[in-house]
């Protein structure tokens, strides 16, 4: 059991002993205190400020408001609290949010356990007593079993990093440390440095008062109007109609706000339809509507994103009268949403005022601050007041400001995090037992409605402490395996969104010298919650739990080994409780696949799509041809679809063919070869060969480059492609320049490890493969190289690019084929796709993490066809600025 004795800082004793010490009295600290006390833990909260509120205590600058609608940005743990408080506006002001947090503190009598005006300076884990010792700036230390940092993601203001601030003789303010008394700007010359959300909120109001306002902007930001007012009636009706359901939906949503995900892609909409959606979102005045609800590809694909960004740029141009100023205000250096966009009230229109000057620091950087004002490369601005809206050392700043935090063996957290934060779930750190960080780096935190994320973290942490108490455990610590796995998962997730493409405080780029990398979890609030729950349901996976009178428990392992989106796809399929495909019969299975395909995202546009037939050995075979939009002639890829020789047709891998055609700049011809059980072995192989020969001979008629073709195929189609290469070599042509084999079937044995490791649970199952084999090929024929190409002669085959997926029964036979080709002297490249399943690469626009694999496949196809590498990858960087742009601003922070 956990000792629950408290000896308050009584006379002569300066160390207070509690079960749990928590730091911070913002949204997180207050809820923690409420929960810990309710669940019987002795607790003290330590807070630097002299009252509760956190963010809303410190950020009192004019215009400060939330940017998530207040009906969502509030506690949800107590329905009675919800009915006891009424918000006055759609986006509440800072004073109102501060009043709310004061109201919460009073309602649950929280202040009596908060030590205000107490800054925690150091924290040390004592292994012998298994307790943390916290030292503070007022000499009252705290000894605690558990130490919880609720210190905030945006609570450590960033120093201005400009020479001469101390020389300035006027008034200086920081938005993140705004004074309690009113600041008067009337009649004064004011400079604001910084145009993030804080600057963008403050600038219009300061402009209304000041005699002259100079805005010094280093990087322009996207901003959209808040259209503040009463909370929208439709949202209120939704909430009030089913409060519990509404809140639950938020908890499982992408960003902590209950909005439906968009499923329509930008290329499925006309320009007029896109504009209509954009205008509706603009009128709604809601960040998440604009960030997530226009079209499905806006947050994951640079092309889809560029369409939104262009429309936002048009709005800036339409509002700001002076085209020079408008040009300076338009962002070009980052995708929309990759940097936190701002909600504004009259921001752009403020630059039409005669008393406002915009200084573009990209053209004239600040040299220094002097006694009388600010000096740039080109000019001097004499001012009476400087407002620094220069932001925060975000996510890690407040944690690292407690220095040192010494964990097991005296290791300092700042050393462990020297190359960037490393956590398990964004909540705990290996080597630092009994330490929690609420909304720490590695959790959704700032990419979400933070109150939802705070409540989830607090509940999870306190529930763990309760469970430990019941089981007799007194220490917990994340294992290295679990933490390393989480870091890898974080990296995988970061490829899902465009945040990695911007230099922002999300990545640490705003603080000179800070290690860089996307710090918040980009996999979404709901999936994250599911993962945290799974850690618990799998016996505290990745945690070592110990106690004085119980055996140590450690279920070591990684919580997510699949790619994040693959995991979601599999979860969805699991929920659908589908009958095994092999139980449906051939026609039933075909109908099922057709049904699944009808629901998938439509493939992207290419130059031209044409259906036709070609002569096969026993009659015509249908094909579908995909031609790039670029001028031809293009090299031709003869493509064989997947489906175990039983399912699919020339259309069934349509999104994949379009995507590869677009990325490789090559013609794809997808062949409708005949299927088992109607046509058994070797029909598919012979059809594949016949089609390849005919296409090679008629390349010019198809608009292709004559001479040779490349063959490609996925799954059983990969088998046909591999076999076709062997037949072409042995039958005197056609000339095949290369082969792309994606998760190919290459051999008839089922005893390689991947067949057992991945026998079930990853869509393609071992028993489905048995069924496919049985329908296509009798046991006596299975060693024939026309179905088991691994058993054929491999020398003299065309160069190959072989793709295998970690969680695929066919993984090992794909690798075996690649290795055998290489051993036979065939040039081979392999892509072993970590965390992917058999269907990952053909689920285009569903499995976003498959993009990089398809990029590599497209590059390989170009190499095989003898084309130069493409100058620019479709997804690799932000689109060029529109031609009308007078200047393009460099991405990096100074
Ligand atoms: P905080 O509110 O930052 O509280 C942390 C507390 O810990 C502070 O009071 C600090 O003084 C204290 N502390 C830190 N270190 C120590 C120490 N060593 N010793 C003692 N005390 C310490 N998020 C949204 O989701 N929606 C919004 O609309 C939104 N608007 C925002 C507007 C602004 C201006 C800012 C800056 C942030 C905004 N955020 C918003 C993010 C906001 O920080 C969170 O929503 C939320 O308020 C964080 O609560 P918290 O308790 O985790 O941290
Ligand atoms: P921020 O987004 O980091 O913006 C800081 C601004 O200061 C940037 O424009 C930055 O330019 C500039 N800057 C920093 N150092 C500078 C220097 N040395 N010289 C010149 N310019 C410099 O910080 P923030 O505006 O305080 O916002 C931080 C986050 O808090 C927001 O993203 C949001 O999540 C939250 N917030 C929310 C609201 C709201 O609407 N509810 C309001 C305020 C804050 P560069 O971009 O070039 O670095």
Hey, CA dihedral for 507, 508, 513, 515, is it positive or negative?
negative
Ligand 1 proximity of 178 Cβ (cutoff 6 Å): no
pLDDT in tens, 543-559: 999 999 999 999 999 99
pLDDT in tens, 741-795: 999 999 999 999 999 999 999 999 999 999 999 999 999 999 999 999 999 999 9
Residue 260: which pLDDT band, with cuts at 50, 70 and 90?
A: confident
Give the Å distance between the CA of 565 and the centre of ligand 1: 30
pLDDT at 889: 24
Give the Å distance between the CA of 508 and the centre of ligand 2: 12
Can you tell me whether residue 200 is helix, strand or coil? helix
pLDDT at 14: 79
| pTM for the whole structure | 0.95
Give Cα 753 to chain centroid, integer Å. Answer: 32
- How would DSSP label each residue in 504-557? STTTTTTSTT---S--S--S-HHHHHHHHHHHHHTTSTTEEEEETTEEEEE--S
pLDDT in tens, 59-70: 999 999 999 999
Q: Looking at residue 366, what DSSP letter applies?
A: E
Ligand 2 proximity of 193 Cβ (cutoff 6 Å): yes
Ligand 1 proximity of 439 Cβ (cutoff 6 Å): yes
Is pLDDT of 423 > 50?
A: yes
Give the Å distance between the CA of 75 and the centre of ligand 1: 14
Cβ neighbors of 679 (< 8 A, separation 6 or more) are: none
pLDDT in tens, 212-240: 999 999 999 999 999 999 999 999 999 99
Closest ligand to Cα 222: 2
Residue 5: which pLDDT band, with cuts at 50, 70 and 90?
A: very low
pLDDT in tens, 438-493: 999 999 999 999 999 999 999 999 999 999 999 999 999 999 999 999 999 999 99
Give the Å distance between the CA of 32 and the centre of ligand 1: 14
If one residue of 218, 448, 519 were mutated to test the ligand 2 pocket, choosing by the most ligand atoms within 8 A of its CB, it would be: 218
Percent of the chain, pLDDT > 90?
A: 94
For 19, the enclosing helix (H) or strand (E) is strand 15-23
Cβ neighbors of 66 (< 8 A, separation 6 or more) are: 73, 91, 92, 97
Cβ neighbors of 352 (< 8 A, separation 6 or more) are: 319, 320, 321, 322
Distances (CA, A) of 615 to 105, 236, 685, 689, 727: 80, 64, 15, 12, 18
Is pLDDT of 821 > 50?
A: yes
Burial class (CB in 10 A: 0-12, 13-18, 19+), 838: buried
Distance between CA atoms of 383 and 376, rounded to whole angstroms? 13
Is pLDDT of 148 > 70?
A: yes
Give the Å distance between the CA of 345 and the centre of ligand 1: 23
Cα 680-685-690 angle, rounded to 5 deg: 120
Cβ neighbors of 407 (< 8 A, separation 6 or more) are: 125, 413, 416, 429, 431, 432, 433, 435
Residue 259: which pLDDT band, with cuts at 50, 70 and 90?
A: confident
Ligand 2 atom with the smallest distance to the CA of 91 is 41
Cα 700-703-705 angle, rounded to 5 deg: 60
pLDDT in tens, 829-859: 999 999 999 999 999 999 999 999 999 999 9
* Among the ranges given (468-472, 585-589, 596-600, 693-697), the one the predictor scored with the smallest mean pLDDT: 596-600
Give the closest residue to 880 by CA, choosing from 297, 303, 299: 303
pLDDT in tens, 330-354: 999 999 999 999 999 999 999 999 9
Ligand 2 proximity of 343 Cβ (cutoff 6 Å): yes
Task: Kindly state the average pLDDT of the residues 307-335.
Answer: 98
- The token pair at 212 is 């002259």
Q: Are strands 667-671 and 619-627 parallel, antiparallel or unpaired?
A: antiparallel
Task: Kindly state the average pLDDT of the residues 664-669.
Answer: 98
pLDDT in tens, 677-702: 999 999 999 999 999 999 999 999 99
pLDDT at 874: 45
Q: Are strands 380-382 and 373-376 parallel, antiparallel or unpaired?
A: antiparallel
If one residue of 163, 390, 395, 448 were mutated to test the ligand 2 pocket, choosing by the most ligand atoms within 8 A of its CB, it would be: 390
Mean pLDDT of the chain: 94
pLDDT in tens, 373-413: 999 999 999 999 999 999 999 999 999 999 999 999 999 99
pLDDT at 261: 82
Distance between CA atoms of 787 and 783, rounded to whole angstroms? 7
Ligand 2 proximity of 194 Cβ (cutoff 6 Å): yes
Ligand 2 proximity of 160 Cβ (cutoff 6 Å): yes
pLDDT at 139: 81
Task: Kindly state the average pLDDT of the residues 248-267.
Answer: 94
Distance between CA atoms of 401 and 119, rounded to whole angstroms? 10
* Among the ranges given (2-11, 557-566, 603-612), the one the predictor scored with the smallest mean pLDDT: 2-11
pLDDT in tens, 153-206: 999 999 989 999 999 999 999 999 999 999 999 999 999 999 999 999 999 999
Is pLDDT of 295 > 90?
A: yes
If one residue of 23, 54, 388 were mutated to test the ligand 1 pocket, choosing by the most ligand atoms within 8 A of its CB, it would be: 54
- The token pair at 408 is 């097991």
pLDDT in tens, 492-507: 999 999 999 999 999 9
Residue 4: which pLDDT band, with cuts at 50, 70 and 90?
A: very low
pLDDT in tens, 734-753: 999 999 999 999 999 999 99
Cβ atoms 178, 53 nearer than 8 A: no
Ligand 2 proximity of 197 Cβ (cutoff 6 Å): yes
Can you tell me whether residue 721 is helix, strand or coil? helix
Give the Å distance between the CA of 219 and the centre of ligand 2: 10
Give the closest residue to 678 by CA, choosing from 554, 791, 590: 590
């Amino acid at each position: 059991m956990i000792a629950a004795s408290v000896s308050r800082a009584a006379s002569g004793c300066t160390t207070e002993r509690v079960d749990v010490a928590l730091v911070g009295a913002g949204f997180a600290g207050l809820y923690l205190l409420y929960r810990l006390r309710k669940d019987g833990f002795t607790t003290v909260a330590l807070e630097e400020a002299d009252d509760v509120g956190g963010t809303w205590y410190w950020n009192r600058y004019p215009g400060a408001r939330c940017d998530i609608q207040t009906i969502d940005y509030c506690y949800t743990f107590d329905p009675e609290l919800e009915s006891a408080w009424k918000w006055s506006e759609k986006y509440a002001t800072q004073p109102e949010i501060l009043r709310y947090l004061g109201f919460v503190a009073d309602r649950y009598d929280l202040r009596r356990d908060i030590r205000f005006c107490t800054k925690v300076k150091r924290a040390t884990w004592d292994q012998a007593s298994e307790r943390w010792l916290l030292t503070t700036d007022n000499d009252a230390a705290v000894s605690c079993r558990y130490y919880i940092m609720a210190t905030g993601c945006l609570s450590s203001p960033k120093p201005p990093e400009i020479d001469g601030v101390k020389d300035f003789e006027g008034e200086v303010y920081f938005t993140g440390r705004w004074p309690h008394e009113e600041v008067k700007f009337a009649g004064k010359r004011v400079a604001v440095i910084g145009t993030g959300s804080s600057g963008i909120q403050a600038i219009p109001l300061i402009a209304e008062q000041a005699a002259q306002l100079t805005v010094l902007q280093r990087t322009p930001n996207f901003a959209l109007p808040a259209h503040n007012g009463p909370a929208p009636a439709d949202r209120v009706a939704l909430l009030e109609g089913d409060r519990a359901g509404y809140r639950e939906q938020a908890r499982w949503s992408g960003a902590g706000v209950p909005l439906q995900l968009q499923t329509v892609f930008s290329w499925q909409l006309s320009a007029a339809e896109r504009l209509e959606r954009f205008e509706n979102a603009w009128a709604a005045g809601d960040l998440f509507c604009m960030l997530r609800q226009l079209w499905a590809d806006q947050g994951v694909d640079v092309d889809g994103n560029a369409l939104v960004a262009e429309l936002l740029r048009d709005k800036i141009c339409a509002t700001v009268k002076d085209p020079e100023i408008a040009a300076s205000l338009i962002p070009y250096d980052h995708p929309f949403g990759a940097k936190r966009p701002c909600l504004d009230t009259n921001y752009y229109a403020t630059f039409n005022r005669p008393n406002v000057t915009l200084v573009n620091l990209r053209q004239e950087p600040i040299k220094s601050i002097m006694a009388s004002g600010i000096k740039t490369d080109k000019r001097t601005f004499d001012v009476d007041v400087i407002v620094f809206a220069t932001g925060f050392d975000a996510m890690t700043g407040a944690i690292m400001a407690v220095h040192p935090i010494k964990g097991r063996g005296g290791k300092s957290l700042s050393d462990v995090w020297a190359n960037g934060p490393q956590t398990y779930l964004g909540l705990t750190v290996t080597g630092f037992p009994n330490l929690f960080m609420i909304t720490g780096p590695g959790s959704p935190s700032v990419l979400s409605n933070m109150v939802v994320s705070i409540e989830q973290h607090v509940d999870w942490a306190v529930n763990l402490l309760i469970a430990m108490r019941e089981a007799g455990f007194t220490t917990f610590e994340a294992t290295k395996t679990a933490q390393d796995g989480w870091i890898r998962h974080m990296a995988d997730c970061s490829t899902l969104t465009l945040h990695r493409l911007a230099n922002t405080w999300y990545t640490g780029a705003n603080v000179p010298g800070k290690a860089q990398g996307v710090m918040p979890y980009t996999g979404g609030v709901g999936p994250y919650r599911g993962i945290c729950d799974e850690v618990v349901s799998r016996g505290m996976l990745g945690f070592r739990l110990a106690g004085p009178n119980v055996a140590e428990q450690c279920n070591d392992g990684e919580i997510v080994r699949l790619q994040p989106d693959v995991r979601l796809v599999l979860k969805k399929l699991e929920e659908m409780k589908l009958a095994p495909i092999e139980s449906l019969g051939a026609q039933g299975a075909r109908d099922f696949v057709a049904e699944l395909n009808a629901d998938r995202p439509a493939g992207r546009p290419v130059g031209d799509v044409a259906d036709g037939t070609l002569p096969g050995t026993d009659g015509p075979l249908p094909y579908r041809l995909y031609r790039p939009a670029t001028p031809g002639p293009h090299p031709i890829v003869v493509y064989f679809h997947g489906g175990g020789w039983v399912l699919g047709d020339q259309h069934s891998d349509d999104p994949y063919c379009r995507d590869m055609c677009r990325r490789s700049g090559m013609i794809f011809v997808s062949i409708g070869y005949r299927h088992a059980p109607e046509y058994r072995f070797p029909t598919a192989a012979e059809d594949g060969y016949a089609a390849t020969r005919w296409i090679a001979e008629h390349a010019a008629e198809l608009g292709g480059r004559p001479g040779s073709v490349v063959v490609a195929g996925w799954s059983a189609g990969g088998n046909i492609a591999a076999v076709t290469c062997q037949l072409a070599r042995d039958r005197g042509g056609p000339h095949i320049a290369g082969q792309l084999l994606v998760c190919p079937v290459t051999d008839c044995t089922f005893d390689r490890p991947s067949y057992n490791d991945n026998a079930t649970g990853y869509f393609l199952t071992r028993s489905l493969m048995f069924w496919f084999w049985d329908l296509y090929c009798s046991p006596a024929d299975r060693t024939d190289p026309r179905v088991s190409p691994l058993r054929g002669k491999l020398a003299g085959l065309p160069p190959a690019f072989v793709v295998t997926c970690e969680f695929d029964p066919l993984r090992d036979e794909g690798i075996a084929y690649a290795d055998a080709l290489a051993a036979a002297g065939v040039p081979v490249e392999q892509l072993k796709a970590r965390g992917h399943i058999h269907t990952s690469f053909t689920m285009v626009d569903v499995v976003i993490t498959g993009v990089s694999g398809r990029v590599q496949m497209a590059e390989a196809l170009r190499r095989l066809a003898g084309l130069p590498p493409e100058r620019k990858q479709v997804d690799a960087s932000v689109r060029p600025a529109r031609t009308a742009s007078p200047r393009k601003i460099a991405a990096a922070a100074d």
